[in-house]
Amino acid sequence: MEEEEKMPQDLKEKFLNNILNDSDRLSRLINNILDFEKLSTGRQQLDIRRNNIKKTISKAISSIQHIASNKGIKIINEDDVDFEFDYDEDRILQVLTNLLSNAIKFTESNNGIISVDYILKEKNIEVYVRDNGNGIPDEDFKYIFDKFYQTSDQNTRKPQGSGLGLAISKQIIENHNGKIWAEKGKKVGATFGFKLPFN
Ligand code: ADP
């Protein structure tokens, strides 16, 4: 007790802040684990409705725009064609937000550019999120969609994360009978794509 009283106020605040940050990170991790489990065991039902992919992409970008702007990163989205089909909008937003936040995290401040585009191809819609950041090391490609996988040089490449974002995104896309992948052989940055079937 006496020791505690001797502790300077600013140090106390620092400790308290660390505890709060740790408990935030822990509760995000627990939520992600629960989410992943529900999705992979089929206990999470999709709420499939007719939605507009152009609007969903705009929503995802606006929800994350302030983080990109704070880092001086531009997000470009030039799609002007409205397209409607059936999907669970909250879940697709979750995938887009995860891809966008990874793109922001792995891209340098002030000269980062992220683009989001979509095309219709056969009976699928394909959505691409591209960045001009660090890119994905060749040895990581096989594993990035595995649960808990994070690149080995996390400290220099990325300060935080649970390694569940892409595993959850993969579950969501596969539960929609779609497919998600990262493109190989990029000279600059990373490109993630996913496709969803429509009828
Ligand atoms: P987390 O973001 O919590 O680390 P993810 O499952 O979202 O977990 O990502 C797994 C790993 O994939 C990351 O740790 C990183 O190594 C790699 N990765 C994901 N997105 C990108 C990107 N845009 N650029 C480079 N590497 C990426």
Whole-number Å distance between alpha carbons of 36 and 120: 29
Which residue type, as a one-letter code, is found at position 46?
Answer: L
Q: Parallel, antiparallel, or unpaired for β 74-76 and 113-121?
A: parallel
The per-residue DSSP string of 50-100 comes to EEEHHHHHHHHHHHHHHHHHHTT-EEE-------EEEE-HHHHHHHHHHHH
Whole-number Å distance between alpha carbons of 64 and 101: 7
Mutate to test the pocket of ligand 1, among 136, 139, 171 (most ligand atoms within 8 A of CB): 136
For residue 83, the model assigns a pLDDT of: 93
For residue 168, the model assigns a pLDDT of: 95
- Count CB atoms within 10 A of the CB of residue 105: 18
Ligand 1 centroid vs 13 CA: distance in angstroms? 32
For residue 148, the model assigns a pLDDT of: 84
Ligand 1 neighbours (beta carbon < 6 A): 98, 102-103, 106, 131, 133-136, 140, 144, 149-151, 158, 161-167, 190
pTM of the model: 0.88
Mutate to test the pocket of ligand 1, among 99, 144, 145 (most ligand atoms within 8 A of CB): 144
List, run by run, the mean pLDDT of 10-residue segments along the chain (199 residues): 72 91 88 89 90 96 95 92 94 97 92 94 95 92 88 55 90 96 91 94
Ligand 1 centroid vs 40 CA: distance in angstroms? 20
